[in-house]
């Protein structure tokens, strides 16, 4: 099950489609959907989590807390819609496309992908692009 939660005025209009997409991503990666909670919030909300739980005093677009057990994916994915909107401008894309990228990014971390090194970051970006194409077919 995927839940969409809102700590700000932001709201997604296609939750069912995104649920189907994320579940297909997980199946493609050899995992099963347990429970994923997406929490959409503002910069201040996410910054406080970043400081409290990760000891990072910086703004970020996404933080994911992974509760996966074996092949059953579970976790909480916090997304700053303010940061996503700013990144969309910086990367010359739409808010919707950048939001989808961040959403799948968090899930790919649950599947074991990292993005700390340059090569890991490149691999992660390629996977994001691959799965963003899959979303177009849903």
The answer to whether the CB of 33 falls within 8 A of the CB of 67 is: no
Sole residue written with tokens 């347990």: 34
At 66, is the secondary structure helix, strand, or coil? strand
Q: Was 109 annotated as part of a binding site?
A: yes
Q: Flag whether 105 is marked binding.
A: yes
Contacts of 22 (CB under 8 A, 6+ apart): 2, 33, 36, 103, 104, 107
Both ends of the chain: CA-CA distance in Å?
Answer: 18
DSSP-assigned letters across all residues of 81-109: HHHHHHHHHHTT--HHHHHHHHHHHHHHH
137 labeled binding residue: no
Q: Give the residue ranges of the annotated binding site.
A: 105, 109, 115
Q: Give the residue ranges of the annotated binding site for Zn(2+).
A: 105, 109, 115
């Amino acid at each position: 099950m995927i839940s969409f939660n809102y700590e700000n005025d932001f709201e997604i209009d296609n939750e069912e489609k995104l649920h189907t997409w994320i579940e297909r991503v997980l199946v493609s990666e050899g995992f099963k959907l347990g429970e994923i909670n997406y929490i959409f919030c503002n910069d201040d909300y996410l910054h406080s989590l970043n400081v409290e739980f990760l000891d990072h005093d910086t703004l970020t677009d996404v933080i994911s807390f992974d509760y996966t057990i074996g092949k059953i994916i579970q976790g909480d994915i916090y997304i700053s819609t303010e940061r996503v909107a700013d990144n969309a401008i910086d990367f010359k894309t739409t808010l919707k496309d950048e939001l989808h990228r961040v959403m799948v990014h968090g899930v790919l971390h649950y599947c074991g992908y990292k993005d700390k090194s340059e090569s890991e970051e490149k691999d992660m970006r390629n996977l994001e692009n691959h799965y963003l194409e899959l979303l177009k077919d849903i």
